[in-house]
């Protein structure tokens, strides 16, 4: 083991004394070079999504010291750019989330920076709203989104309520790298900070303001009243419990059944080790309740309540809708309704990510609505709202979503919001229920109208110190791929978002991609099929997005499965296969 890593370990063993659990962990790995290496071979990087990592001791872990030093770096950045500043902070239900929020607040207060701090856990979009409400210069949300329970994280926002930009994040990271996490961090006691007013707890009037803004996004106000809509809701032991239930009640959804085993905050997520509403395992407890109460809709929000998944009745069981399918239905419902009601603005815009189903583009085009395609990450959707706001045209934005179950209507926040999404999904379900239609009938009708698209996303994990290198090699191999076909289909178009080119093989035209550089590769195949590859920015995994198009549902499924088989077994994507 490198002397530098051993020295880091010894330094932490001597100085990391504020947390007894960390001290015990460091002592427990004393005889294991591999364990020490994994904890200290790198420091968690601060990016546009802030920090994220496994909980534990070391520079490559989430703990009070990595949180403190990151916050000191943020404080130094703020002091360089503002004579006075404030930061809004909240947290979700994860292990140590309240502790990390308090530690961040103490560091900021010690630097003379005002903190607006949540008294209890809140959904992530609440922080985006708080930044704008309090006119803060930054925001911090302690969360690891839908990662397994061993993770936690620290998400940062800029003064506009959007996730921090690349330039700002790079500047904060540069400040962090100058610091020693034990010697260079300022800290003040919580009582002293509260007494001095440097830390102030956020009051109830703020949450009322947020709910009012959410309620303003209702498309058909009052549609839920008299619909007898029955809903099962699970917050997956996360932060959505109070606000999602409040907004459903306020908009007329009174028959709501809570999944008791997942109602209260619990960072161990005992009933779903991977609390992600994208996967069936997370919804199993909710589906059991559905069997008993026979609802029209199952809603499941992730731990920080910025994503929502749904299941709806289908024959004798319940069908889990994908993020694409829910977004496609919401797009159609919102645009159709706003045209009918005369509330669609002039030159309307909706925004989606490049890995989100192209079926959305076809639906929007049918209503004469412009679609802006942006890089993966809701910050890029928020950025488009900001650009419109700068031209005093934010009312043109009508809806945005990404296939990973994140949705936003309205410009009151600049991040995905499961509170407003839950309200709109329930509203949509009530609208169609009054017409005698289920959401399964709705999505099938859209497929019949526009074509059958099967979108499947698979994740391939690469853990440990060698995982990042493996992922890098896979992407490099794909960049060097030389062929005019994949899986038996001609490649019609290829886009590389890192090298920023988009080449049409049918016309020979090549154009520059006018988006920030991102490690994403898209292979567009004949018949509308596609394979898109990107490493996750927050987890050690590569995500691959498959689009299979067919003459009917089964044909589309077969096509998508054929693409998946090719990726897994051809050796092109994973040479060791």
Please tell me what DSSP assigns to residue 50. Answer: B
Angle between helices 124-133 and 418-433 (to 10 degrees): 110
Do the Cβ atoms of 384 and 349 come closer than 8 Å?
yes
Active-site residue set: 145
Cα separation, 194 vs 81, in Å, equals: 25
At residue 486's C-alpha, the angle toward residues 481 and 487, to 5°, is 140
Residue at token pair 């990595």: 66
Cα separation, 69 vs 72, in Å, equals: 5
C-alpha distances (whole Å) from 102 to each of 71, 117, 129 are 11, 8, 20
Provide the sign of the torsion angle of the four alpha carbons 412, 415, 419, 422, taken in this order: positive
Which phi and psi angles does 311 have, rounded to 5°?
-135, 145
Residue positions counted in the chain: 577
Do the Cβ atoms of 266 and 93 come closer than 8 Å?
yes
Residue at token pair 């659990």: 21
Question: Which element (helix H / strand E) includes 468?
Answer: helix 467-479
Cα separation, 512 vs 192, in Å, equals: 55
Do the Cβ atoms of 408 and 421 come closer than 8 Å?
yes
Cα separation, 420 vs 410, in Å, equals: 9
Cα separation, 558 vs 132, in Å, equals: 47
């Amino acid at each position: 083991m490198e002397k530098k890593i051993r020295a880091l370990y010894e330094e932490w063993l001597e100085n990391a004394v504020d947390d007894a659990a960390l001290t015990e962990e460091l002592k427990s790995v004393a005889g294991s070079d591999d364990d020490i290496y994994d904890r200290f071979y790198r420091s968690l990087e601060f990016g546009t999504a802030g920090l994220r990592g496994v909980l534990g001791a070391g520079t490559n872990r989430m703990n009070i010291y990595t949180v403190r030093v990151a916050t000191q770096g943020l404080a130094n950045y703020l002091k360089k750019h503002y004579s006075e500043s404030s930061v809004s902070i909240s947290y979700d239900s994860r292990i140590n989330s309240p502790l990390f929020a308090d530690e961040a607040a103490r560091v900021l207060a010690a630097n003379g920076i005002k903190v607006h701090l949540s008294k209890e856990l809140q959904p992530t979009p609440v922080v985006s709203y708080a930044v704008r409400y309090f006119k803060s210069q930054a925001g911090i949300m302690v969360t690891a989104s839908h990662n397994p329970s061993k993770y936690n994280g620290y998400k940062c926002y800029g003064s506009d309520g959007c996730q921090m930009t690349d330039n700002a994040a790079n500047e904060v990271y540069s400040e962090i790298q100058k610091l020693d996490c034990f010697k260079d961090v300022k800290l003040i006691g919580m009582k002293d900070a509260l007494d001095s007013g440097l830390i102030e707890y956020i009051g109830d009037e703020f949450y009322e303001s947020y709910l009012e803004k959410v309620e303003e996004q209702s498309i058909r106000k009052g549609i839920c009243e008299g619909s007898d809509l029955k809903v099962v809701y699970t917050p997956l032991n996360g932060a959505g419990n109070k606000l999602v239930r409040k907004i459903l009640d306020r908009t007329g959804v009174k028959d709501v059944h809570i999944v008791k085993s997942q109602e209260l905050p619990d960072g161990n997520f005992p009933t779903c080790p991977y609390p992600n509403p994208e996967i069936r395992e997370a919804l199993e407890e909710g589906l059991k309740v559905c069997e008993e109460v026979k609802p029209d809709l199952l809603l499941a929000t992730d731990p920080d309540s910025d994503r929502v998944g749904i299941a709806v009745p289908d024959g004798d069981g319940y069908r889990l809708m994908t993020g694409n399918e829910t977004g496609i239905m919401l797009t159609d419902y919102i645009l159709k309704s706003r045209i009918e009601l005369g509330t669609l603005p002039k030159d309307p815009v909706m925004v989606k990510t490049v890995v989100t189903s192209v079926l959305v583009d076809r639906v929007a085009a049918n209503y004469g609505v412009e679609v802006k395609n942006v890089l993966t990450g809701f910050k890029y959707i928020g950025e488009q709202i900001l650009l419109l706001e700068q031209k005093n045209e934010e009312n043109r934005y009508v809806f945005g979503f990404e296939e990973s179950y994140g949705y936003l209507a309205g410009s009151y926040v600049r991040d995905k919001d499961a509170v407003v999404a839950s309200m709109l999904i329930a509203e949509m379900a009530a609208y169609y229920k009054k017409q005698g239609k289920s959401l399964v009938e709705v999505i099938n009708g859209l497929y019949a109208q526009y074509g059958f698209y099967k979108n499947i996303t698979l994740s391939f994990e690469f853990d440990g110190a060698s995982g990042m290198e493996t992922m890098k090699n896979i992407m490099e191999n794909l960049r060097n791929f030389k062929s005019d076909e994949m899986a038996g289909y001609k490649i019609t178009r290829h886009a590389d978002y890192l090298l920023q080119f988009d080449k049409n093989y049918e016309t020979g035209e090549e154009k520059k991609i006018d988006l920030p550089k991102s490690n994403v590769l898209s292979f567009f195949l004949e018949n509308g099929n596609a394979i898109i590859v990107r490493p996750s920015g927050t987890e050690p995994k590569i995500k691959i997005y498959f689009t299979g198009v067919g003459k009917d549902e089964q044909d589309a499924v077969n096509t998508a499965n054929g693409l998946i088989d090719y990726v897994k077994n051809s050796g092109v994507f994973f040479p060791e296969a």
